[in-house]
Amino acid sequence: MRTFLSVNEVTKKYANHLAINNLSLQVPENSIYGLLGPNGAGKTSLIRIINQITAPDKGSILLNGEVLSPEHISRIGYLPEERGLYKKMKVGEQALYLARLKGMPKNIARQKLLYWFEKFEIENWWNRKVEELSKGMQQKIQFIVTILHQPELLIFDEPFSGFDPINVNLLKEEILKLREQGATIIFSTHNMASVEELCDHIALINNGNKILEGTVNEIREAHRTHTFECEIKQPVDSIKQDLEQLSVTLNKFVRKADNSVRITITSDAESSGNQLIKKLLPLGELSDFKELLPSMNDIFIAQVSATNIKTDSHE
């Protein structure tokens, strides 16, 4: 896959605080890239550098192979975490203003806005003042303004905060559609469920360092613990003893009312699922067998606390 945005050895220091430490990322074209990390990890600092709001102390950023310059502003759409609108301004007037700041001509901006307002069924808000709208309604307008100029790179910083579930779904659909249409999307969030649902790639950042990067499947694969959950119907009487004699760790053993057992076992890294099944077959009728892959949430917590311990012991 071609790289659309590449962050090369970027460092950003604030007075005596290192926000980003020699960080490199490759965001593939036409993908949804999850930028994960706890609060204060350096995500927003990095996003602001990509948006040219601040400049990096060291390193470079390439957009589609070109060094980032002011001309790229119109090719990037950004929905910040801290976002809002002028409260006293009318919705349509304001959307038009923000679109023109992105470099869109007035009449084209108006046409496109009307299209999106109709699509989200908010045409009659055009002449309302922003302060009359609910927070969710304002978020819809912010979303429209972010994508209106059809940017090739979209950056969403916690896009779902403050949305009700219906609008979250609406937004997810639109984000997926944008990727279909060819956009590259950077998605920064704490919401791990939406990461698994939407992201193709992720990078995990902590204390300004990248601690993990790859596709969601690769990462889950790399962090597998070889733990399996299975259910055995009509087990042999000696099942518990037999299981203990296998070269596996028995984590959980539950006997149900119908005498079937449900177990969780961890095998060593070398043996595959098939080998384990072979060992289990003599013990009864194997009715369920699946590998328990760690969730992104588990990986996130494990990785962040591991690096925090490391940096703590360094200090």
Stretch that binds other proteins, among 61-69, 92-100, 173-181, 270-278 (CB under 8 A): 92-100
For residue 11, state whether it binds other proteins (rule: CB under 8 A). Answer: no
**Closer of 43 and 210 to other proteins (Cβ):** 43
Q: Which residues contact 125 (CB under 8 A, 6 or more apart)?
A: 91, 92, 117, 133, 137, 141
**Closer of 78 and 300 to other proteins (Cβ):** 78
Work out which of 2, 9, 14, 115 binds other proteins, going by CB under 8 A. 14
Pattern of binders to other proteins over 61-90, x per CB under 8 A?
Answer: ---------x--x--x-x-x-xxxxxxxx-
| 289 class by beta-carbon count within 10 Å (0-12 exposed, 13-18 middle, 19+ buried) | middle
Give the HSE-up count for residue 66: Cα atoms under 13 Å, Cβ half-sphere: 8
Partners of 250 in beta bridges: 265
Nearest to 33 by CA among 213, 297, 208, 222: 213
Two structure tokens written together for 294: 């760690």
For residue 53, state whether it binds other proteins (rule: CB under 8 A). Answer: yes
For residue 35, state whether it binds other proteins (rule: CB under 8 A). Answer: no
**Closer of 28 and 162 to other proteins (Cβ):** 162
Token look-up 């005596």 returns: 16
Q: Residue 107: how many CB atoms within 10 A of its CB?
A: 8
# binding residues, other proteins (CB under 8 A): 28
Work out which of 51, 215, 264, 297 binds other proteins, going by CB under 8 A. 51
Q: Which residues of this chain interact with other proteins, rule CB under 8 A?
A: 14-15, 48, 51-54, 70, 73, 76, 78, 80, 82-89, 97-98, 100-103, 142, 145
